[in-house]
Chains A and B, each alone.
Chain A
Amino acid sequence: MNSLLVIAGGFRMNMKMLGTSAWFLLMAVIQPIIFATIAYYMFRSGGRSGTLLYASLGAGMMGVWSSTLFGSGGMIQWQRWQGTLELGAAAPPSMGLVYLPFSLANSFTGMYALAATLVWGRLLFGVPLHFVHPWLFLLSLPATVAALGLMGLVLASTFILYRHANALSNLLEYPVWIASGLIFSTSLLPGWTRPISWALPPYWGVLAIRHAALGGDVWGPLAMVALLGLACLVIGFAMFRVFEHFARARATLSLT
């Protein structure tokens, strides 16, 4: 019960902070327009039924991943600069639990990017919004976003120990877009990359979302999203535990 209160409190607090950031609000409007435009022009020539929606969903998921990736790593850096990282570390709950809601809040703001991408695609380019399984779509979307948030937790843990883990964040944006099939189908990639795709929650997430929208098996990919999300949760908590211990030994929690 206490853990749920910590998660709910952290989530609410982080959403409130994001809502007060003018820069964040500006990006929240501009970024989906950029993604919707990319999706439209990339797939306009395809001409097949459902291609535009396929591309728009992928573009929206690109926004979710970017938000998770930079938000999760950035939150630890930002808390270190602000002097609040030590407060989280010295609180009674485990550090993983303290920062889980922050990571989830970041990915759920990405969900807004996906919705906005679809709306802008519809308004600017006439992308049809017809979903084959609307209820499964509404289930797949938050499940995928939550799994991405848990993946963000694993990434955030590295920032506890390494003050300049930004390089890792920068490195991971495009490869994950490509390996997860957000921009184009992974069938175009070399065969050896397939296991990498399978290990990524966004690969299964966008598959579930696209199948829910355009038709196909939703439950299989959704089960993989849940499984990989759970694995990320376990790995994330374990890494926070280990890295927190190292950070206490090496004194890397604060800047002073």
Chain B
Amino acid sequence: MAVIEAIELRRTYRTSTGVLRRKPLEVEAVRGISFAVEQGELFGLLGPNGAGKTTTIKMLITLLLPTGGHARVLGVDVVDNPREVRKRIGYVFGGDRGLYERLSARDNLRYFAELYGVSGKTQRARIDEVLELVGLKGREQERVEGYSRGMRQRLHIARGILHDPEVVFLDEPTIGVDPVGARELRTTIADLIAAGKTVLLTTHYMFEADALCDRIAVIAKGRIVGEGTPEALKAGVAEGRVTEIDAFGVDEAAVARLRAIDGVTAVTVEEHEQKQLLLVQTTGDRELTAPLLAELDGFEVGRVFSREPTLEDAYIALVTAE
């Protein structure tokens, strides 16, 4: 039996615009997604901003009611029996918020230990244990308001696993954390899997998903557009190649012309201050450098080189194809 199951899960937000004449507005954040996560697996939900990752997690941890479909965690329906689900899961949201700023880390954890029924006898030892695990031992008496982002994030994780849950949901846990801190957090996440937990992770960072996840679902505009192991996803674009072109001032019309070239499957543009990086994905082994440069005639072009696709390329191919 799968530990986490989403079956045709949907969520529509209803809002309105206007002041006097209010006009109802519906936003479909999640449009019928299905996936299953097995015991002890680290499953990644990968997608751009607004793809529906956080909404999906919030439905699974019982903070939002789905508007369609079903979801079960550890065999328990998240709508019918939210309290049972809450007892057995932990969750961590990325970012600065979600902590009692004026309290110390220990006081924060002590409060949540009581909310999650960690008994008085074992509470102190358990708090010490999770503080040690996330590397905050020695700083636990300081007020959270003085913590760096990385320290806050580690405290979030400590809170999320304090009651030793069977399933842990991590929503962009390394967002905004410096590279060293992020690496430490990834080690902590890997430790969770080693301890037998089932983890659902959302992230923007491809290398993070590649390094940590057993399986990944790529989500775009509320739908799953690809699912499999990182290797399988990469293999999906492995037959092609990726041409990287440094350029300056390339406009939308030129990008559209590149996309129209026979053999080009996707073109994305990354802006790096003055410079642009054009990532052109192509099918097969066809050499398309000449036609690509021909379409960029008149623009300033720098370094051009061709390479094997990465998970990021697979992700871009899936997301842009949607």
Contacts and interface: CB of A to CB of B under 8 A. Distances in A.
Contacts of B91: 90
B110 A9 contact: yes
B64 A92 contact: no
Contacts of B107: 13, 16
A91 B110 contact: no
B97 A13 contact: no
B120 interface: yes
B95 interface: yes
B261 interface: no
Contact of A91 (B93, B95, B115): B115
Interface string B31-69: 000000000000000000000001000000111110000
Given A83-B98, A84-B98, A92 B87 contact: yes
Secondary structure type dominating chain B contacts? mixed
Contacts of A10: 111, 114
B259 interface: no
Contact of B120 (A5, A87, A94): A5
Contacts of A98: 115
A49 interface: no
A5 B64 CA distance: 27
B96 to A, nearest CB: 8
Nearest to B119: A5
B98 A82 contact: yes
Contacts of B77: none
B87 A84 contact: no
B111 A251 contact: no
Contact of B61 (A82, A90, A93, A254): A90
B100 interface: yes
A84 B93 CA distance: 11
Contact of A13 (B13, B62, B64, B100): B100
A87 B143 CA distance: 19
Contacts of B61: 90
Contacts of B138: none
Nearest to B98: A83
Nearest to A20: B102
A129 to B, nearest CB: 35
A239 B63 CA distance: 17
B99 A84 contact: yes
A21 interface: yes
A253 B93 CA distance: 14
Contact of B13 (A17, A82, A90, A251): A251
A248 B86 contact: no
B83 interface: yes
A86 B65 contact: no
Contacts, number: 80
Secondary structure type dominating chain A contacts? helix
A89 interface: yes
Interface string A236-256: 000000000100111101101
A88 B63 CA distance: 10
Contacts of B110: 9, 13
A2 interface: yes
B207 interface: no
B98 A9 contact: no
A6 interface: yes
B102 A21 contact: yes
B115 to A, nearest CB: 4
B116 interface: yes
B63 A248 contact: yes
Interface string B117-157: 10010000000000000000000000100000000000000
Interface string A10-48: 100100110011000000000000000000000000000
A91 B86 contact: yes
Contacts of A89: 63
Nearest to B11: A251
Given A2-B117, A248-B63, A251-B64, A82 B101 contact: yes
A17 B102 contact: yes
A92 B100 contact: no
Nearest to A85: B98
Contacts of B260: none
Given A9-B110, A9-B114, A90 B86 contact: yes
21 contacts: A5-B117, A6-B115, A9-B115, A10-B111, A10-B114, A13-B107, A13-B111, A16-B103, A17-B100, A17-B102, A82-B101, A83-B99, A84-B99, A89-B63, A91-B116, A92-B115, A94-B83, A248-B64, A250-B14, A251-B13, A256-B54
Interface of A: 2, 5-6, 8-10, 13, 16-17, 20-21, 82-84, 86-94, 98, 245, 248-251, 253-254, 256
